[in-house]
C-alpha cells in the first residue's frame, strides 16, 4: 500500500497567506520569490556550518534569521523546525542538531522547488 | 511621512518597504542598528521607525536606548519587530524606549494600524510644541506690534552691554516716542492709533540690522538697541529712524495720518559700567530734551548732563565697525 504522505507532494508554504501578506501584489511576490531563491541556500549553508561547529549560540543566531525568512514566506512547518534549532542552540544543547537540520534541509529543498513552480506561474 | 526600516534580513526589508510605500510612506531602509541610530539621532531624521529586534552591530533595543538618550531632537516613535513573544521580552523591549512592538511575520493591516497610532502621537506632539512656541512668543513679544515686549528687551540689553564693554565697543540705546500720539488717538480713534503703532514698529524694524533689537517699551514708546555699534553708525541710524517714521503718512483705517518721532540716544562706551536702569534714565532724559526742542529730532545723552543735538563728536575712543 502506498503511503499518501510520501507520494503526494507536501505543500510546504501557504500561498493564500503569503498573498494576503503581500496584499495581492504580484510584483512584490515575484521579488520575494527571487530573494528567497538566492538567500535560502545561503542561509541553509550558514546553518549547516554553525551546526558543524557545535557553537550553540551561533546556531541560535543563524536559525533565528532563517526562521524569520521562512515565516515571511508562510513556510510554517520549516519555520517551526528552524525555531526548534534556535531553541536548542539557545539552550546550549550539544546533540540532536544534525537530526533536526536534516528535516529542515528536506523541507527547504521541497520549498525551493515549490517556490520555483510558483515563480513560473507568477511570471507567466 | 518618512519612516525608517531597520532589518538585516533582505526579504523582510523588501516586504516592509513595499507595504509601507503602498501605504504612502516615504521609506528609508537600512541593514543594521548602527545605521538606524545614526539616522534617527539626526535633527532632521525620520520620526517613525520600525526596528528589528535582532540586528548586527546594534540591536533594536540598543537603537531605542540611544535615540531616547538624545533629548534634543523631536520625539521619535519606534516600533520593535520581533519574533520574541515571551512577556519578559516584551517588557524588556518597551523598557528600552520602544513605543510598541509587532510580532513577525506581520499582518499588513495590523502594521498600518499601529503606525497610524504612531502618527497620532507624533501629531499630538507637534501640536504641543506649536502651542508651547506660541506661548513662548506671547510671553516675549508685544501682542499689537509683535516686537519684543518690555520684559524681553530689558533682558536683552544687559548681556549686550556686558559684551560691548568686554570688546571695547559700544551699544547704542535709542529711546523713541511718537509725537502727539494722544492727539492721534483722540482725532482718529484708537483703531487708527493701533495702525500707527503697528506701522511704526514695521518701519523701525526695517531700518535696523537683523541682529539689532527693537522692542515696545510702553504705550507709544519704543526701545531700539543697536549692537556692536560705532558712534557714527549710531548717530546716522538714529536720524534714519526718525526719517523713516516721518517721511510719509501712515495709512490707517481712518485715512492717512502724518507722524513724527522724537529720540534720545545714548552710546554705552561713554558711560562705563553703569546699571541698565541708569542708562535708560539718561536716554529718557535725552528723549525729554528732544521733546523740549520741538520734537521730531534726536538728542544725545552725554555723561556731563548736556543733551546735544546729533553731531559726530571727534576722537571717540571706540573701535570703528564697518
Chain A residues lying within 8 Å of B23, measured CB to CB: none
Length of chain A: 124
Distance CA B133, CA B312 (A): 43
What per-residue string of b and e applies to B104-114 under the rule 16 or more CB within 10 Å gives b? Answer: bbbebeebbeb
A interface mutation test: which of B6, B7, B9 has the most A CBs within 10 A? B9
pLDDT at B10: 92
pLDDT above 50 (res B186)? yes
Closest CA to A85 of A109, A107, A63: A63
* Chain A: residue whose CA lies nearest to B111: A21
Report yes or no: A22 at the B interface, CB cutoff 8 Å. yes
Residue scoring higher pLDDT (B277 or A9): B277
Could you identify the residue written with the cell 546735544?
B308
pLDDT at B2: 97
Kindly determine whether residue B11 and residue A71, on different chains, have CB atoms separated by under 8 Å.
no
Can you tell me whether residue B107 is helix, strand or coil?
Answer: coil
pLDDT at A10: 58
User: Span A4-19, mean pLDDT?
Assistant: 69
Task: Looking at the complex, report in whole angstroms how far the Cα of residue A45 sits from the nearest Cα belonging to chain B.
Answer: 16
User: Span B310-315, mean pLDDT?
Assistant: 42
Sheet holding B221-226, edge to edge: B213-216, B221-226, B172-178, B261-267, B298-301, B307-309
Task: Looking at the complex, report in whole angstroms how far the Cα of residue A32 sits from the nearest Cα belonging to chain B.
Answer: 6
- Which strand (E) or helix (H) includes residue B5? strand B2-6
pLDDT above 70 (res A83)? yes
User: Span A98-124, mean pLDDT?
Assistant: 89
**pLDDT tens by residue, B18-37:** 999 999 999 999 999 999 99
Residue scoring higher pLDDT (B230 or B46): B46
Chain A residues lying within 8 Å of B107, measured CB to CB: 20-21
Q: What is the mean pLDDT of chain B?
A: 91
Kindly determine whether residue A22 and residue B15, on different chains, have CB atoms separated by under 8 Å.
yes
Report yes or no: A24 at the B interface, CB cutoff 8 Å. no
Report residue A120's pLDDT band, with 50, 70 and 90 as the boundaries. Answer: confident
**B190 and B280 Cβ atoms separated by less than 8 Å:** no
Q: Catalytic residue positions of B? A: 220
What letter would DSSP give residue B148? B
**pLDDT tens by residue, B141-152:** 999 999 999 999
**B224 and B201 Cβ atoms separated by less than 8 Å:** no
Length of chain B: 322
Say how many CB pairs under 8 Å bridge A and B: 54
Report yes or no: A34 at the B interface, CB cutoff 8 Å. no
Distance CA B63, CA B4 (A): 12
Report yes or no: A12 at the B interface, CB cutoff 8 Å. no
pLDDT at B307: 65
Reduced 3-state DSSP string for B212-230: CEEEECCCCEEEEEECCCC
pLDDT at A9: 44
Distance CA B142, CA B145 (A): 6
pLDDT at B83: 78
pLDDT at B272: 87
Report yes or no: A110 at the B interface, CB cutoff 8 Å. no
Report residue B60's pLDDT band, with 50, 70 and 90 as the boundaries. Answer: very high
Spatial CB neighbours of B171, under 8 Å, sequence gap ≥ 6: B157, B160, B161, B163, B164, B225, B226, B227, B228, B229, B267, B268
User: Span B42-53, mean pLDDT?
Assistant: 95
**A13 and A111 Cβ atoms separated by less than 8 Å:** yes
Chain B residues lying within 8 Å of A65, measured CB to CB: 8-9, 54
| Cell matching residue B71 | 533629548
**B201 and B145 Cβ atoms separated by less than 8 Å:** yes
**pLDDT tens by residue, A85-96:** 999 998 887 778
Residue scoring higher pLDDT (B264 or B273): B264
User: Span A77-104, mean pLDDT?
Assistant: 90
Transcribe A55-87 into DSSP letters.
-HHHHHHHHHHHHHHHHHTT-HHHHHHHHHHHH
Report residue A121's pLDDT band, with 50, 70 and 90 as the boundaries. Answer: confident
Closest CA to A74 of A105, A122, A118: A118
Report yes or no: A32 at the B interface, CB cutoff 8 Å. yes
Q: What is the dihedral of CA B236, B242, B243, B245, to 10 degrees?
A: 140
Q: Peptide bond preceding B39: is omega within 30 degrees of 0, i.e. cis?
A: no
pLDDT above 50 (res B311)? no
Kindly determine whether residue B14 and residue A73, on different chains, have CB atoms separated by under 8 Å.
no
Kindly determine whether residue B15 and residue A28, on different chains, have CB atoms separated by under 8 Å.
yes
Report yes or no: A7 at the B interface, CB cutoff 8 Å. no
**pLDDT tens by residue, B209-254:** 999 999 999 999 999 999 989 888 999 999 999 999 999 999 999 9
Task: Looking at the complex, report in whole angstroms how far the Cα of residue B144 sits from the nearest Cα belonging to chain A.
Answer: 56
pLDDT at B309: 61
Chain B residues lying within 8 Å of A74, measured CB to CB: 105
Handedness of CA B305, B308, B310, B313 (dihedral sign): negative
pLDDT at B231: 87
Distance CA A83, CA A47 (A): 12
State how beta strands B307-309 and B298-301 pair: antiparallel
**pLDDT tens by residue, B73-128:** 889 999 999 876 667 788 888 999 999 999 888 999 999 999 999 999 999 999 99
Task: Looking at the complex, report in whole angstroms how far the Cα of residue A7 sits from the nearest Cα belonging to chain B.
Answer: 31
| Cell matching residue B240 | 534714519
ipTM value > 0.95: no
Q: What is the mean pLDDT of chain A?
A: 87
User: Span B283-295, mean pLDDT?
Assistant: 96
| Cell matching residue B223 | 526701545
Q: For B301, what's the count of Cα atoms within 13 Å in the CB-facing half-sphere? A: 24
**B288 and B176 Cβ atoms separated by less than 8 Å:** no
pLDDT at B72: 83
Least confident of A1-15, B4-18, B134-148, B258-272: A1-15
User: Span A61-71, mean pLDDT?
Assistant: 92
Amino acid at each position: 500500500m502506498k503511503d499518501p504522505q510520501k507520494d503526494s507532494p507536501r505543500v510546504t508554504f501557504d500561498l493564500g497567506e503569503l498573498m494576503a501578506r503581500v496584499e495581492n501584489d504580484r510584483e512584490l511576490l515575484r521579488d520575494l520569490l527571487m530573494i528567497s531563491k538566492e538567500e535560502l541556500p545561503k542561509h541553509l549553508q550558514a546553518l549547516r556550518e554553525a551546526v558543524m561547529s557545535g557553537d550553540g549560540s551561533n546556531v541560535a543566531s543563524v536559525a533565528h534569521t532563517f526562521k524569520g525568512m521562512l515565516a515571511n514566506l508562510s513556510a510554517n512547518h520549516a519555520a517551526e523546525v528552524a525555531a526548534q534549532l534556535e531553541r536548542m542552540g539557545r539552550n546550549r544543547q550539544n546533540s540532536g542538531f544534525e537530526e533536526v537540520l536534516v528535516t529542515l534541509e528536506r523541507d527547504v529543498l521541497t520549498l525551493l522547488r515549490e517556490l520555483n513552480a510558483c515563480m513560473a506561474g507568477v511570471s507567466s | 511621512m518618512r519612516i525608517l526600516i531597520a532589518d538585516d534580513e533582505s526579504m523582510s526589508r523588501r516586504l516592509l518597504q513595499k507595504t509601507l510605500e503602498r501605504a504612502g510612506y516615504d521609506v528609508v531602509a537600512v541593514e543594521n542598528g548602527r545605521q538606524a541610530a545614526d539616522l534617527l539621532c539626526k535633527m532632521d531624521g525620520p520620526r517613525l521607525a520600525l526596528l528589528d529586534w535582532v540586528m548586527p552591530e546594534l540591536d533594536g533595543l540598543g537603537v531605542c536606548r540611544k535615540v531616547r538618550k538624545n533629548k534634543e531632537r523631536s520625539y521619535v516613535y519606534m516600533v520593535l519587530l520581533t519574533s520574541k513573544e515571551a512577556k519578559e521580552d516584551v517588557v524588556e523591549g518597551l523598557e528600552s524606549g520602544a513605543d510598541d512592538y509587532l510580532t513577525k511575520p506581520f499582518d499588513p493591516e495590523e502594521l498600518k494600524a499601529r503606525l497610524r497610532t504612531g502618527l497620532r502621537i507624533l501629531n499630538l506632539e507637534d501640536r504641543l510644541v506649536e502651542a508651547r512656541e506660541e506661548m513662548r512668543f506671547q510671553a516675549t513679544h508685544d501682542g499689537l506690534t509683535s516686537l519684543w515686549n518690555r520684559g524681553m528687551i530689558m533682558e536683552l540689553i544687559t548681556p549686550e552691554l556686558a559684551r560691548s564693554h568686554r570688546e571695547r565697543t559700544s551699544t547704542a540705546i535709542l529711546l523713541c516716542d511718537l509725537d502727539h500720539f494722544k492727539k492721534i488717538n483722540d482725532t482718529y480713534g484708537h483703531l487708527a492709533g493701533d495702525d500707527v503703532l503697528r506701522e511704526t514698529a514695521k518701519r523701525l524694524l526695517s531700518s535696523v540690522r537683523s541682529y539689532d533689537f527693537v522692542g515696545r517699551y510702553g504705550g507709544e514708546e519704543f526701545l531700539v538697541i543697536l549692537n556692536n555699534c560705532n558712534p557714527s553708525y549710531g548717530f546716522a541710524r538714529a536720524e534714519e529712524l526718525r526719517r523713516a517714521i516721518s517721511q510719509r503718512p501712515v495709512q490707517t483705517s481712518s485715512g492717512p495720518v502724518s507722524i513724527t518721532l522724537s529720540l534720545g540716544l545714548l552710546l554705552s562706551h561713554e558711560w562705563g559700567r553703569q546699571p541698565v536702569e541708569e542708562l535708560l534714565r539718561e536716554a529718557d532724559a535725552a528723549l525729554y530734551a528732544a521733546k523740549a526742542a520741538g520734537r521730531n529730532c534726536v538728542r544725545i545723552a552725554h555723561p556731563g548732563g548736556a543733551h546735544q543735538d546729533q553731531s559726530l563728536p571727534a576722537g571717540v575712543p571706540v573701535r570703528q565697525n564697518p
